[in-house]
Amino acid sequence: MRFPSRFALIAPVAAVALAGCGINSIPTAEENAKAKWADVQASYQRRADLIPNLQATVKGSAASEGKILTDVIEARAKATSIQVSANDLTDPAKVAQFQAAQGQLSGSLSRLMANVEAYPELKSQANFSTFMQQIEGTENRINIAIRDYNVAVQSYNTQIRTFPAAIGAKIFYGAKPMATYTATSAGAQNAPKVDFN
């Protein structure tokens, strides 16, 4: 009677042990988070691409809004100059720098949209209205992309920190936690106060 070799007995046990250590699930979770980051960047790029068209429309209609428009253009230039690659997602400082630049652009766009209420002739222009709707839609896409990215990062970070996947994460991948996207302005978690006086 021939007994199975040691390799034949060890191979299935090793396969089960490696599967339990996240050997396949960790790269899958990491790639999912990186793909979600790409969605965030695509949404911000869409917004950056809309701004030159918005600039042309507003310039012709509201000369008095030049300062706000200049702020939007400058914030766009800064926001598009800061890039965070998928490999930078484990560096919270780089992600925070990207967030701050995007937050400045969001603030400039918010001021522009608020001032439109004071200029009914600008608001009534069809082109301006269309661009404002596109920017509002893009802001919604950005929020959804950020939410999806944060969910993917939470899943990845949880996986690399929990047993038994943490073993494979450290040994095979040297995995580091990824940075989530958080609010950049102070007091962003507080609801704004509305005062009609």
Q: What CATH number did the domain enclosing 67 receive?
A: 1.20.1440.20
Q: Are 115 and 65 in contact (CB under 8 A)?
A: yes
- Per the structure, the complete domain to which residue 127 belongs is given by 21-173
Choose between 46 and 117: higher pLDDT.
46
Q: Is residue 16 part of a domain?
A: no
Q: How confident is the model at residue 125 (pLDDT cuts 50, 70, 90)?
A: low
Residue 11 falls within a domain, yes or no? Answer: no
- Spatial contact of 138 and 47, defined as CB atoms under 8 Å apart: yes
In this prediction, residues 102-118 reach a mean pLDDT of 75
Residue range 83-101: mean pLDDT, rounded:
88
Summarised one tens digit per residue, pLDDT across range 142-174 is 999 999 999 999 999 999 998 888 888 888 888
Over residues 107-122, the mean pLDDT reads 68
| CA proximity to 33, closest of 76, 114, 89 | 89
| 45 belongs to a structural domain | yes
Task: Determine, yes or no, domain membership for 1.
Answer: no
* Domain assignment present for 158: yes
Residue 156: inside a domain, yes or no? yes
CA atoms within 13 A of residue 182's CA, in its CB half-sphere: 12
How far from 76 is each of 17, 47, 54, CA to CA, in Å?
50, 9, 12
pLDDT band at 99 (very low <50, low <70, confident <90, very high): confident
Residue 136 lies in a domain: yes
- What was the pLDDT predicted at 149? 96
CA angle 36, 184, 154 (to 5 degrees): 35
Average pLDDT over residues 103-126: 69
| pLDDT tens digit sequence for 6-34 | 655 565 555 555 555 567 888 999 999 99
Number of independent structural domains in the chain = 1
Domain presence at residue 191: no
